[in-house]
């Protein structure tokens, strides 16, 4: 029914995250209030004398062949089109908009609101030369994995930039890896932190703060093997793999970099490996069998 | 969500020419379920489906407006620019009339900077600050102001990212659609026979060349928004 699609859409509005919905033509059940002349094109086929028209075969059995709108309420008059009707003056338009949204960026205020209401969004430039380092926001901690100086050779000489790889995580199962390049180390670290905050994954963890099962992940030429460990082991892994696991909050794990040693690619490979892991309860639910079967 | 009556007449749509598609050679095979026939080298869309999608879109828009969501209408073809502006003003939504600047939504912080500049220029103009400058500077600032007015005039009341975006021609506004997809903003799109129906969230198969068909569909959506808004004003 149409209500299922539109109700799912309205429920997503109440949630803060906006997912993408798939467009499925919902099967339509004809009610008794159908139109007197449903427009079924295949039935017109026999009466048409237009030899240039070629009709497509509608193969879908659930197709929508009739359009049954709800009943017309009494006394309904179609509203005027937007270009007929009285043209509003600019003042009226500005007034209507300001009622809805406040003065925003229009530069004038007819209702007496403060015109500079959007100024609080602008970051005040510090009177001192140095920009203050921002505090840790959103509860995510950043750790720099690697900072490298990279060069681009141009006609005039070599142009140096810094490339920072940063892992961002709260110690509760969310991690993200980000890269950023800039001419200075500090701004490169900031860029990579914003990048990392955009690609965050959740790590499935058991109650002993370890993985549910072993997993391999690869990204590029870097291959990483992750294995759960009993409590008290700690994180036994090298380089960027250790940093990613620590920022995720995993306490006991074993990891090995099997392919290349590239820090960025190994960090990405651990993220790939972690994304492939499933909790036992999830798998049991998807397969429809009780969890005891999984341990046989 | 309740389904309401939106005065969608199939005869009215046929008069406006909503059922005409583009030429046969330019079609997108994904549109096959929405095409009913082929006549004289032009695809004809199935109006029952169009009516169905249009009423669903109106329901969604009505529901969102009654919750106080913000809309954005995007239509940049020369022919439609005026109707898009009028429709948006009537409905009280933001609109993009002229070229859609790349990154308008994904690079919202930079767009905000431009909007700040626009606002400052407007205040300057109002209090007469431009008359005190030498002629050349004043002319430069006036030119900047007119540029900002054409490109950002429709979104000058937009404080944050919109909640629903209505795009008039998917082929033309492909960048806008991609930006909404990356940001996860639901979109309602007018699809013609050469467009991809899977990209937008609600796609309405219609004719995007004829002004009458665009006006008809915009009329319905604007009516839905107005109704929803009036309901919202009474119960916020």
Tell me which of A93-107, A119-133, A205-219, A253-267 is least confident.
A119-133
**Residue in chain A lying closest to B153 (CA):** A106
Task: Look at the pTM and tell me if it is higher than 0.80.
Answer: no
What pLDDT was estimated at residue A84? 65
Cβ contacts (< 8 Å) between A21 and chain B: which residues?
186, 201
Average pLDDT of the residues of chain B = 84
Sequence-ordered list of residues with C-beta below 8 angstroms from that of A243, at least 6 positions apart, any chain: A143, A145, A167, A267
| Residue B37 to residue A5, Cβ atoms within 8 A | no
User: Which residue has better confidence, A273 or B133?
Assistant: A273
Query: Which tens digit of pLDDT belongs to each residue from A52-73?
Result: 566 666 555 455 566 666 666 6
Best A46, A53, A81 member to test B by mutation, with max B CBs in 10 Å, is A81
What pLDDT was estimated at residue A29? 39
What pLDDT was estimated at residue B1? 60
Name which of A248, A274, A247, A269 is nearest A259 in CA terms: A269
Contact B191, B203 (CB under 8 A): yes
Mean pLDDT of all residues in B229-236: 69
Mean pLDDT of all residues in B171-175: 87
Task: State the residue for tokens 């002993």.
Answer: A208
Name which of A187, A150, A183 is nearest A166 in CA terms: A187
Mean pLDDT of all residues in A5-20: 43
Interface contact A44, partner B, CB < 8 A: no
Task: State the residue for tokens 């338009």.
Answer: A93
Alpha-carbon distances of B81 from A108, B77, B95, B151, B163, rounded to whole Å: 25, 6, 10, 12, 22
| Residue A9 to residue B181, Cβ atoms within 8 A | no
Partner residues linked to B74 by β-bridges = B96, B167
Mean pLDDT of all residues in A122-128: 50
**Residue in chain A lying closest to B223 (CA):** A79
Residue B164 and residue B189: Cα distance in Å, rounded?
11
Tell me which of A21-35, A168-182, A200-214, B33-47 is least confident.
A21-35
**Residue in chain A lying closest to B158 (CA):** A104
| Residue B48 to residue A107, Cβ atoms within 8 A | no
| Residue B112 to residue A121, Cβ atoms within 8 A | yes
What pLDDT was estimated at residue A163? 94
Best B40, B48, B88, B181 member to test A by mutation, with max A CBs in 10 Å, is B48
Instruction: Identify the top-confidence range among A102-116, A144-158, B121-135.
Output: A144-158
Report the DSSP pairing between strands A222-228 and A253-257: antiparallel
Q: Tokens for B3, please give them.
A: 């389904």
| Residue A56 to residue B52, Cβ atoms within 8 A | no
3-state secondary structure chain A: CHHHHHHHHHHHHHCCCCCCCCCCCCCCCCCCCCCCCCCCHHHHCCCCCCCCEEECCCCCCCCCCCCCCCCCCCCCCCCCCCCCCCCCCHHHHHHHHHHHHCCCCCCCCCCCCCCCHHHHHCCCCCCCCCCCCCCCCCCCEEEEEEEEEEEEEECCEEEEEEEEEEEEEECCCEEEEEEEEECCHHHHHHHHHHHHHHCEEECCCCCCCCCCCCEEEEECCEEEEEEECCCCCCEECCHHHHHHHHHHCCCCEEEEECCCCCHHHHHHHHHHHHHCCCCHHHHHHHHCCCHHHHHC
Query: What is the edge-to-edge ordering of all strands in the sheet holding A174-182?
Result: A141-154, A157-170, A174-182, A200-202
Q: Tokens for A276, please give them.
A: 């492939």
What pLDDT was estimated at residue A18? 38
Best B31, B52, B155 member to test A by mutation, with max A CBs in 10 Å, is B52
Question: Which among B32, B201, B218 is the nearest to A23, CB-wise?
Answer: B201
Interface contact A295, partner B, CB < 8 A: no
Query: Which tens digit of pLDDT belongs to each residue from B191-226?
Result: 888 888 888 888 888 888 888 888 888 888 888 888
Residue A269 has pLDDT above 70, yes or no: yes
Residue A10 has pLDDT above 80, yes or no: no
Interface contact A21, partner B, CB < 8 A: yes
DSSP 8-state class, residue B13: H
Cβ contacts (< 8 Å) between B63 and chain A: which residues?
6, 10, 13
What pLDDT was estimated at residue A6? 46
Average pLDDT of the residues of chain A = 74
What pLDDT was estimated at residue A85? 64
**Residue in chain B lying closest to A72 (CA):** B5
Best B1, B42, B125 member to test A by mutation, with max A CBs in 10 Å, is B1
**Chain A nearest CA to B86, separation (Å):** 6
Please report the number of interchain residue pairs, chain A to chain B, with beta-carbon separation below 8 angstroms.
173
Interface contact A72, partner B, CB < 8 A: yes
**Chain B nearest CA to A70, separation (Å):** 5
Query: Which tens digit of pLDDT belongs to each residue from B119-153?
Result: 888 888 888 777 788 888 888 888 988 888 888 88
Chain A residues 82-141 with CB within 8 Å of chain B? 82-83, 88, 93, 96-98, 100-102, 104-108, 115, 118, 121-122
Confidence of residue A2 (pLDDT cuts 50, 70, 90): very low
**Chain B nearest CA to A295, separation (Å):** 40
Best A35, A63, A100, A105 member to test B by mutation, with max B CBs in 10 Å, is A105
Residue A47 has pLDDT above 70, yes or no: no
Mean pLDDT of all residues in A82-90: 68
Cβ contacts (< 8 Å) between A56 and chain B: which residues?
32, 35-38
Alpha-carbon distances of B85 from B1, B40, B192, rounded to whole Å: 29, 34, 21
Question: Which among B36, B123, B202 is the nearest to A115, CB-wise?
Answer: B123
Mean pLDDT of all residues in A9-16: 43
Residue A111 and residue B30: Cα distance in Å, rounded?
50
């Amino acid at each position: 029914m149409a209500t299922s699609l539109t109700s799912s859409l309205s429920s997503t509005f109440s949630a803060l995250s906006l997912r993408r919905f798939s467009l499925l033509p919902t099967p339509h059940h004809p009610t008794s209030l159908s139109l007197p002349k449903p427009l079924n094109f295949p039935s017109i086929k026999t009466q048409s004398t237009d030899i240039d028209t070629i009709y497509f075969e509608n193969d879908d059995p659930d197709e929508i062949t009739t359009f049954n709108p709800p009943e017309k309420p009494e006394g309904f008059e179609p509203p005027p089109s937007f270009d007929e009707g009285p043209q509003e003056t600019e003042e009226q338009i500005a007034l209507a908009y300001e009622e809805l949204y406040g003065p925003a960026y229009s530069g004038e205020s007819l209702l007496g609101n403060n015109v500079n209401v959007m100024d609080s969004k602008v970051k005040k430039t510090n009177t001192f030369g140095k920009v203050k380092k921002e505090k840790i926001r959103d509860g995510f901690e950043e750790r720099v994995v690697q900072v490298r100086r990279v060069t681009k050779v141009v006609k005039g000489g070599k142009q140096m930039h810094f490339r920072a790889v940063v892992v961002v995580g709260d110690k509760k199962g969310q991690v993200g890896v980000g890269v950023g390049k800039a001419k200075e180390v500090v701004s490169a670290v900031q860029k990579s932190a914003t990048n990392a905050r955009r690609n965050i994954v959740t790590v499935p963890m058991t109650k002993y703060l370890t993985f549910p099962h072993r997993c391999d992940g690869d990204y590029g030429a870097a291959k990483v093997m992750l294995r759960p460990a009993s409590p008290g082991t700690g994180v036994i892994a090298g380089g960027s793999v250790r940093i990613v696991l620590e920022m995720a909050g995993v306490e006991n794990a074993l990891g090995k970099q099997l392919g290349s040693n590239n820090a960025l690619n190994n960090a990405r490979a651990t993220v790939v490996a972690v994304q492939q892991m499933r909790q036992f309860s999830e798998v049991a639910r998807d397969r429809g069998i009780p969890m005891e079967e999984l341990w046989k | 969500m309740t389904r309401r009556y939106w005065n969608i007449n199939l005869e009215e749509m046929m008069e406006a020419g909503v059922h005409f598609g583009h030429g046969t050679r330019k079609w997108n095979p994904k549109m096959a379920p929405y095409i009913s026939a082929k006549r004289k080298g032009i695809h004809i869309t199935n109006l029952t489906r169009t009516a169905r999608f249009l009423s669903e879109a109106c329901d969604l828009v009505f529901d969102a407006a009654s919750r106080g969501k913000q809309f954005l209408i995007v239509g940049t073809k020369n022919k439609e620019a005026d109707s898009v502006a009028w429709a948006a003003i009537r409905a009280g939504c933001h609109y993009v009339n002229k070229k859609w600047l790349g990154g308008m939504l994904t690079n919202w912080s930079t767009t905000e900077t431009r909007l700040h500049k626009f606002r400052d220029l407007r205040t300057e103009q109002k209090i007469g600050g431009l008359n005190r400058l030498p002629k050349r500077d004043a002319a430069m600032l006036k030119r900047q102001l007119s540029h900002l007015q054409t490109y950002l005039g429709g979104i000058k009341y937009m404080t944050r990212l919109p909640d629903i975006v209505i795009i008039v021609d998917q082929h033309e506004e492909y960048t806008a659609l991609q930006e909404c997809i990356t940001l996860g903003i639901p979109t309602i799109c007018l699809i013609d026979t050469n467009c991809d129906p899977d990209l937008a969230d609600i796609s309405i198969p219609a004719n995007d060349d004829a002004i009458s068909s665009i006006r008809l569909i915009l009329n319905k959506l604007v009516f839905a928004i107005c109704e929803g808004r009036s309901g919202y004003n009474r119960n916020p």
